[in-house]
Amino acid sequence: MGALAGNPPYQKFEVAVRRSPIDGFGVFALEPVPKWQKIGEVRGESITVAEARRRAAMLERIMIVEVSPKKAIDLAKSTDPMRFTNHSCQPNGQLRVQEGRIEFYALRNIAPGEEITVDYGETHHEGRLTCRCGAPGCTGRL
């Protein structure tokens, strides 16, 4: 287990960003990731929730996570690979906000070559965006 060359030290498993069958780019495991292990985290620009919602209203594709009732992190300019984590209705990973940090954990064993996904939960799209995860039982909306 080790950080991929050029990835930040808080990236715990080697991953690669490449085209995703789900949407745009995704993040793919380059080594086995055991269940419950921290995969990595992302960092970005700290902004207010009000500013985050203003930005989200202007964009269709966003990378913003609210980490508290007053604070959000905009990942648009982040170089952390986990920022490309796509949504799935049957994810193999979980996004957790802990002490203001955005961390990713494996919900099950993840095999090399597998795309790492999380359930985004509530989004600014409020069900207006089509889900493209293709998972059995997909809700069809984000």
pTM: 0.86
Cα separation, 79 vs 53, in Å, equals 22
The domain tally of the chain equals 2
Query: Do residues 25 and 88 share a domain?
Result: yes
Contact criterion met (CB below 8 Å) for 12 and 80: no
* CATH code assigned at 7: 2.170.270.10
Last residue of one domain, picked from the residues 60, 77, 94: 77
Q: Is residue 135 part of a domain?
A: no
Q: What contacts 85, CB < 8 A, 6 or more positions away?
A: 26, 27, 93, 95, 104, 116, 117, 118
The residue range of the domain holding 49 is 44-77
Could you list the pLDDT tens digit for every one of the 142 residues in the chain?
A: 444 455 667 789 999 999 999 999 999 999 999 999 999 999 999 999 999 988 888 776 778 888 999 999 999 889 999 999 999 999 999 999 988 899 999 999 999 999 999 998 766 556 677 888 888 888 887 7
